[in-house]
Amino acid sequence: MWQIIGAGAIGCLWATNLLRDGQQVTLITRKNSQTQTLNYQDLQGKRTSFNCRLSTQLSNRDDPILVCVKAPQVKQALLQHRHNISEQQAIILMHNGMGTAEQVTKIFPHNPIICATTTNASLLNAELNIIQTGKGATYLGAFNEQGKSFSILANKLNSALDDTLWCEDIKQKLWLKLLINIAINPLTAIFKVNNGTLAKKHFQRQIAQMINEVMPVLEKEGLLFESHMLLITINNVIQATAANYSSMNRDIYFKRPTENEYISGYLLKKALQYNIETPLIRSLYEQIKEISHQVK
């Protein structure tokens, strides 16, 4: 059985696809819900409803926990369920940004910790009601030694949503997603534009500068990225999601906490550690912080 913490767009996307595949799911939500029905509209517009077990508590101390809350909520969400998590239970972290695995390891030093990143996209239309908006790939990989023997989990998830792969070098995949988020999210949030607007010359110059700033950090981290390829990848995402508003743009718009600390903030901590200047990334990070304070 899967226990999924977080009934947001990604948690519900996995829950519906796992249920459709005949796997058992308990969706762990913050408050008791009247309804036990998950409504799903796939990319072809086909609507399906699934009965799903909902609970405010983790109940099974063996099966894997898929954590789909946003990065700033991960630590608190797991702390809240701490007494229902056993040492051998695998914890999978799936969200934008980096830095939570380090936090979780401190709280659960013996547990297998697995990091995951996905380019599947969905929209939470209403409570327990999602629309799939994009088909992508999902990568999972071990964050610690204990996590290394859990590649079977990727097979189970792949059976529900294909293009899900176990990855020996998950760090490279996590960083790539981080770099995409560093380039797209703050600019779209500060300038209140959709992703596609970043194709404009003015923004392209800023994205190129950000890439220049991150390159020495990536080198120090032992990551193999080529700046030109990175720009192409970022622009492919901009094109593929042109009509969408980034998650940070939405968070600012709806006056919600952002993932700033786990996106640009994570990069800034690394840059500081290596004594590397990243002025544009810092300035955008500060601007997001400023706007977030204003909306509180």
Q: How far is CA 189 from the centre of its chain?
A: 17
Q: Is 68 near ligand PAF (CB under 6 A)? A: no
Gap between the Cα atoms of 296 and 292, Å rounded: 6
Q: Is 264 near ligand PAF (CB under 6 A)? A: no
Q: Residue 207: helix, strand or coil by DSSP? A: helix
Total number of residues that touch ligand PAF (CB under 6 A): 11
Q: Which of 75, 177, 255, 289 is catalytic?
A: 177
Catalytic site includes residue 220: no
CA distances from 53 to 9, 24, 233 (A): 17, 9, 39
| Site stretch for ligand PAF (CB under 6 A), options 32-40, 77-85, 214-222, 244-252 | 244-252
Closest approach, Cβ 193 to ligand PAF, in A, equals 12
CA atoms within 13 A on the CB side of 138: 27
Q: Is 237 near ligand PAF (CB under 6 A)? A: yes
Q: Is 241 near ligand PAF (CB under 6 A)? A: yes
* Burial zone of 207 (CB within 10 Å; 0-12 exposed, 13-18 middle, 19+ buried): buried
Residue with tokens 């999601």: 241
| Site stretch for ligand PAF (CB under 6 A), options 5-13, 37-45, 67-75, 240-248 | 240-248
**Do residues 27 and 4 make contact, with C-beta atoms less than 8 angstroms apart?**
yes
Residue with tokens 């996209």: 121
Question: In the window 187-206, what residues touch ligand PAF (CB under 6 A)?
Answer: 195
Tell which one of 26, 185, 206, 264 touches ligand PAF (CB under 6 A).
185
Gap between the Cα atoms of 121 and 175, Å rounded: 19
Annotate each residue in 134-173 with x if it binds ligand PAF (CB under 6 A) or - if it does not, as one string. Answer: ----------------------------------------
Interface residues toward ligand PAF, by CB under 6 A: 96, 180-181, 184-185, 195, 237, 241, 244, 246-247
Residues tagged active-site: 177
